[in-house]
Amino acid sequence: MFTQFLPYLGFTNTYSDSSLFVKHVDGSIVILLLYVDDIIITESATSAIQQVITDLTKEFDIKDLGSLHFFLGIQISRTSNDLFLSQAKYVVDLLKKIEMMDAKPVATSCLPSNRLLKDDGHPFNNHALYRSVVGALQYLIFTRPDIAFSVH
């Protein structure tokens, strides 16, 4: 119902992401991202954002939580010129989940010259936990591209 209403407000769906909507207003662009029941709205002129929020409030029961600080495990902090993304809390929660809070940090977790063999190490018998950790590490690559080689 929500995505069917957005075209009435002038939003068009993007081809690259079905949950990302764009609207052009007086030379600026409004971007709306919908994830389940969370909405992120951003653009270059705050007056247009407020108008979108007002229009949505007329049709739906929504609550404006103000500036974005945390979304899908990603912490957002901003300065007057910059936007910083971090998944520090996400990493700590993952380390707690797999009981590795005492693990020591390293500059690189895997050298490109390393060859992993199927008989190296000990078998990991908890297949569900393994898949969960691999998925969590793949998600972590969004803010940590430096670990992409090791994760993949």
Residue that has been written with the tokens 């910059």 in this structure: 82
CA atoms within 13 A on the CB side of 42: 6
For residue 13, what pLDDT band results from cuts at 50, 70 and 90? very high
CB 64 within 8 A of CB 50: no
Whether the full predicted model's pTM is greater than 0.75, yes or no, is no
pLDDT of residue 135: 94
Percent share of the chain, pLDDT over 70: 97
